[in-house]
Amino acid sequence: MTTLDIDRIRAEFRNRSIHYYPTIDSTMRAAARCKLGDVVIAGEQTAGQGRHGHTWYSEPATGIYCSMVLAPAPALTLALGLAAASAISEIAGVSCDLRWPNDVLLDGRKVAGVLVQLSGAVAIAGIGINANHRTLPPELDAVATSLRIHTAREVSTTDLLIALLHSADRFAAEGRETILRLFTAASSYAAGRRVRVNQPEGLIEGTTAGLDPSGFLIVRKDDGTDTLIVAGGVRAAGS
Ligand code: BTN
């Protein structure tokens, strides 16, 4: 088991306040009380939050549980998915797929997730990475994985967090057009992918047809009409 070296993380980001909690309910809640630039990191979360009211499985000492207080930026959820994939590639040496808008995948299973909440003038940006989990709860087994399960190797969570904070800064500073171009290139879901999407009016099925200028996903149904997907719920058809 690798333990998080908070002193090394603080030394790497001397101009930012890094708040560390061995145990916390959710880093999102703590970050909402922090100032711009602050980072909240936890060893475990007892009430980790996912998108759409889901919980985020937050086993002690194996995962990355981190929230950053950032300036709102264009397509921030997409930018941070790119940042997570970049940090994973740098530290674990594996290449991830991105499922619009916030899922980072290995072999079609979720290895990391992004949650962005606007809070007044700032964005609270949470990222969870399943790093050194040897197993996952049975209900997540089919849909999630960890770097350890995928590669059979442990990663240094300290190295991964440092890489993540640097890449988050880098991608969050990019303009919308760059993020949309990079996301489209990195995601097998952005175009030409058969998907099912949960929409308020029911399940729709179609083929993805790119991102619109705001970063929303276009799904072309078999009758030729396009639906703009503005929230998540995208799954590969047949999965
Ligand atoms: C999702 O994919 O549904 C988003 C998952 C986000 C999880 C991270 S873990 C750190 C931060 N704190 C939380 O409670 N959630 C985010």
Atom nearest to 49 CA in ligand 1: 14
Q: Say yes or no: CB of residue 148 within 6 Å of ligand 1.
A: no
Reported residue count of the chain is: 239
Q: Say yes or no: CB of residue 50 within 6 Å of ligand 1.
A: yes
User: What residues does 23 pair with on adjacent strands?
Assistant: 44
- Single pTM value for the model: 0.97
User: Which numeric CATH code is attached to 190-236?
Assistant: 2.30.30.100
Query: Is residue 139 classed exposed, middle or buried when 0-12, 13-18 and 19+ CB atoms within 10 A define those classes?
Result: exposed
Determine the pLDDT at residue 3: 86
| Residues 122-151: tens digit of each pLDDT | 999 999 999 999 999 999 999 999 999 999
Return the residue matching tokens 């058969």: 194
3-state SS class at 231: coil
> What's phi and psi for 156, nearest 5 deg?
-80, 120
Instruction: Calculate what percentage of the chain has a pLDDT beyond 70.
Output: 99
Determine the pLDDT at residue 201: 84
**For the chain, domain boundaries:** 6-185, 190-236
Atom nearest to 103 CA in ligand 1: 2
Q: Say yes or no: CB of residue 167 within 6 Å of ligand 1.
A: no
The segments of the chain whose pLDDT lies below 70 read: 1-2
Measured by CA distance, the residue closest to atom 15 of ligand 1 is 49
* Alpha helices by DSSP H, 176-232: 176-186
Determine the pLDDT at residue 1: 57
| Whether CATH 3.30.930.10 fits 6-185 | yes
| 7 vs 3: CA distance, rounded Å | 12
| 142 vs 38: CA distance, rounded Å | 35
| 69 vs 126: CA distance, rounded Å | 9
| Residues 150-184: tens digit of each pLDDT | 999 999 999 999 999 999 999 999 999 999 999 99
User: How many CB atoms lie under 10 A from the CB of residue 233?
Assistant: 15
Q: Could you tell me which of 148, 138, 2, 19 has the C-alpha nearest to residue 61?
A: 2
Query: Is residue 208 classed exposed, middle or buried when 0-12, 13-18 and 19+ CB atoms within 10 A define those classes?
Result: buried
**DSSP string over 116-184:** EEEETTEEEEEEEE--S-S---TTTTTTB--HHHHHSS---HHHHHHHHHHHHHHHHTS-HHHHHHHHH
Q: Say yes or no: CB of residue 65 within 6 Å of ligand 1.
A: yes
Which residues, in sequence order, are CB contacts of 114 under 8 Å at separation 6+? 77, 80, 81, 84, 101, 102, 104, 125, 126, 127
| 88 vs 92: CA distance, rounded Å | 5
Determine the pLDDT at residue 231: 87
Measured by CA distance, the residue closest to atom 2 of ligand 1 is 113
| Residue from 28, 99, 143, 157 whose mutation best tests the ligand 1 pocket (most atoms within 8 A of CB) | 28
Determine the pLDDT at residue 74: 87
Rounded to the nearest angstrom, the distance between the alpha carbon of 29 and the centre of ligand 1 is: 11
